[in-house]
Amino acid sequence: MLIEDITVHVDNKPVYDITFNDSYDGLADILNRLGFSGKKICIVSETNVASLYLDAILISLNNEGIFNKVTTFIFNAGEENKNLDVVRDLYERLITEKFDRNDLLIALGGGVTGDLTGFAAATYLRGIDFVQIPTSLLSQVDSSIGGKTGVDFSSYKNMVGAFHMPRLVYMNQNSLKSLDKRQFISGMGEVLKHGLILDAGYYTWIKNNFSKIITLDYDTLCELVHRSCLIKRMVVEEDPTEKGKRALLNFGHTLGHALEKYMNFELLHGECVLIGSILASLISYNKGNIDKNTLTDIITTIKMFEIPALPKDIDIDKIIDYTRNDKKVVGDKIKFILLKSIGNAYIDMDVTKEDMRQAFTDYLDQYNM
């Protein structure tokens, strides 16, 4: 299936393309066209993804013989390695290999690799170019687009970071086939969010194509990733530095992040976002924004993706307390994202602890299975 590239603009100027591919064969050609022939390239990846896809990329880049040198930096997979120690090791490698400002980093992996590599690229020599090759669903539909880069610091997620735009986002939808089911569903948290906050038609399409999505039908996955990328592009073009509309992308994330932390990261990010999306929908319903049919429709659709049940004895107040550390807190108010209807989200500054407590109680009583 041939899918059209998407160009992402910053301040109305085209800055990078997102390309959709079924292999890594075309990568060298695009890098050549972007002016990287004769440059050094460092492919940054982690153990899981490198074992699956690094060889194919090395073959593609080395076959052409157009780059000065192609080197690799592989770190241990996992969020716990998205930190400054790994960035420091990467800086050391780049210095040893004499990378200069004209050279290039390639992030091959999920959101962890993309965020870490982007941050190293933003800061090494005050900024060098980088390319995103996202391999997880979450990174293809969300984290590789928009230029948000960063690492975790102590127990604080994404506490250190920078905005730094990639020169290219090169996706291979076939790489999604090696994701395990939980990781795939985790990515669906962001996909459903796109429909819920901005595009009712897309939400309905996801619902109607559930069985093709969950069985990883190639053409369906291509359409899904493409549609999500179009939504993410629209939001980041309108609000590149998260001062306004981009906050809508936090739908499901305020309580989702708090839950992720409370559960000690035993649940995946997207699983918590899916539960957080149900909680935000419950608050929207309890405030009278959406009717019961709409709420039921949302919960039934999210539940099709088999999200794990929460322990019955969770400490709701502790989870709510964790929302106070959220980056969305303004003074003592939380920038909560709620729905007016499916496809129409807004920022609500008046969500109280009691609203959150009620939503959690409703969830545990009626939907936690």
Q: Which ranges of 50-100 would DSSP assign to H, the alpha helix? A: 55-64, 84-96
Q: How far is 201 from 197, CA to CA, in rounded Å? A: 11
Q: Which of 28, 31, 44, 49 is close enough to bind ligand NAD by CB under 6 A? A: 49
* Window of 136-144, 257-265, 343-351, 352-360 that interacts with ligand NAD by CB under 6 A: 136-144
Of 116 and 334, nearer to ligand NAD (C-beta) is: 116
By CB under 6 A, is residue 348 in contact with ligand NAD?
no
- Give the per-residue contact string, 17-46, with ligand NAD (x = CB under 6 A; - = no): -----------------------------x
Asked if 203 and 301 count as a contact pair (C-beta separation under 8 A), the reply is yes
Q: How far is 305 from 277, CA to CA, in rounded Å? A: 13
The residue whose two tokens read 């090791």 is: 89
* Window of 1-9, 47-55, 122-130, 357-365 that interacts with ligand NAD by CB under 6 A: 47-55
Of 47 and 366, nearer to ligand NAD (C-beta) is: 47
By CB under 6 A, is residue 142 in contact with ligand NAD?
yes
Cβ-closest residue to ligand NAD?
Answer: 111
By CB under 6 A, is residue 54 in contact with ligand NAD?
no
Of 114 and 367, nearer to ligand NAD (C-beta) is: 114
Q: How far is 217 from 200, CA to CA, in rounded Å? A: 22
By CB under 6 A, is residue 139 in contact with ligand NAD?
yes
Least distance from C-beta 361 to ligand NAD, angstroms?
Answer: 29
The residue whose two tokens read 């496809």 is: 343
Q: Which of 45, 117, 135, 250 is close enough to bind ligand NAD by CB under 6 A? A: 135
DSSP one-letter string for 248-284:
GGGTTHHHHHHHHHHTTT-S-HHHHHHHHHHHHHHHH
Q: Which of 115, 129, 199, 271 is close enough to bind ligand NAD by CB under 6 A? A: 115
By CB under 6 A, is residue 158 in contact with ligand NAD?
yes
Q: Is residue 286 classed as helix, strand or coil in its secondary structure?
A: helix
CA triple 255-249-364, angle to 5 deg = 25
> 162 to 191, contacts with ligand NAD by CB under 6 A?
175, 178-179, 183, 186
- Give the per-residue contact string, 80-109, with ligand NAD (x = CB under 6 A; - = no): --x--------------------------x
Least distance from C-beta 322 to ligand NAD, angstroms?
Answer: 16
Q: How many CB atoms lie within 10 A of CB 29?
A: 12
CA triple 189-192-197, angle to 5 deg = 115
- Consecutive H or E run containing 42: strand 40-46
Q: Which of 120, 146, 227, 251 is close enough to bind ligand NAD by CB under 6 A? A: 146
Q: How far is 49 from 53, CA to CA, in rounded Å? A: 6
The burial class, CB within 10 Å (0-12 / 13-18 / 19+), for 198 is buried
89 Cα distance to chain centroid: 24
> 265 to 284, contacts with ligand NAD by CB under 6 A?
269
> 249 to 268, contacts with ligand NAD by CB under 6 A?
none
Q: How many CB atoms lie within 10 A of CB 169?
A: 26
Q: Which of 27, 31, 94, 138 is close enough to bind ligand NAD by CB under 6 A? A: 138
Instruction: List Cα–Cα distances, 196 to 270, 281, 328, 341, in angstroms.
Output: 15, 10, 20, 8
Of 52 and 364, nearer to ligand NAD (C-beta) is: 52
Least distance from C-beta 68 to ligand NAD, angstroms?
Answer: 28
Residues near ligand NAD (CB under 6 A)? 46, 48-49, 52, 77, 79, 82, 109-113, 115, 135-136, 138-139, 142-143, 146, 148, 158, 175, 178-179, 183, 186, 269
